[in-house]
Structure 1
Amino acid sequence: MFRNILVPTDGSPLATMAVDAAIAFAKEAGAKITVLTVTEPFHFFSTDVEQLGSTREEYEALSREHAAETLAAAQAKAERAGVACTAGQLRNHEVYRAIIDKAEEIGADLIVMASHGRGGVGALIIGSVTAKVLTHSTIPVLVYRKK
Structure 2
Amino acid sequence: MFKRILLPTDGSELSARAVLAGASFAKEIGAQVVGLTALPDFKAFTANTEMLESTEGEYLTASEARGNHYLAAIADAARAAGVEYTLHLVRSDDPHDAILRTARDHGCDLIVMASHGRRGLRGMLLGSETQKVLLHSSIPVLVYR
TM-score (norm 1): 0.91
5+ residue gaps, structure 2: none
69-78 or 82-91: bigger deviation: 69-78
Aligned CA distance change for structure 1 residues 68 and 48 (closer, same or farther; 3 Å): same
In structure 2, distance between residues paired with 1:25 and 1:102: 20
Q: Is the 8 A contact 2:16 2:73 kept in 1?
A: no
Identity of aligned residues (%): 48
Dislocated runs of 4+, deviation >6 Å: none
In structure 2, distance between residues paired with 1:123 and 1:44: 28
CA offsets per residue over residues 73-96 of structure 1, 9 Å max, x none?
A: 221221122111110100012211
Q: How does 1:34-53 map to 2 (within 5 A)?
A: 34-53=34-53
In structure 1, distance between residues paired with 2:127 and 2:100: 17
In structure 2, distance between residues paired with 1:12 and 1:119: 18
After TM superposition, give the deviation of residue 27 of structure 1 in Å: 0.6
Aligned CA distance change for structure 1 residues 17 and 87 (closer, same or farther; 3 Å): same
In structure 2, distance between residues paired with 1:75 and 1:36: 11
1:100 is aligned to 100
SS at structure 2 position matched to 1:41: coil
1:61 is aligned to 61
SS at structure 2 position matched to 1:46: coil
Indicate the RMSD between aligned Cα atoms, in angstroms.
1.5
2:122 is aligned to 122
Number of residue pairs aligned between Structure 1 and Structure 2: 145
After TM superposition, give the deviation of residue 50 of structure 1 in Å: 3.3
Aligned CA distance change for structure 1 residues 27 and 96 (closer, same or farther; 3 Å): same
Amino acid at match of 2:101: D
1:87 is aligned to 87
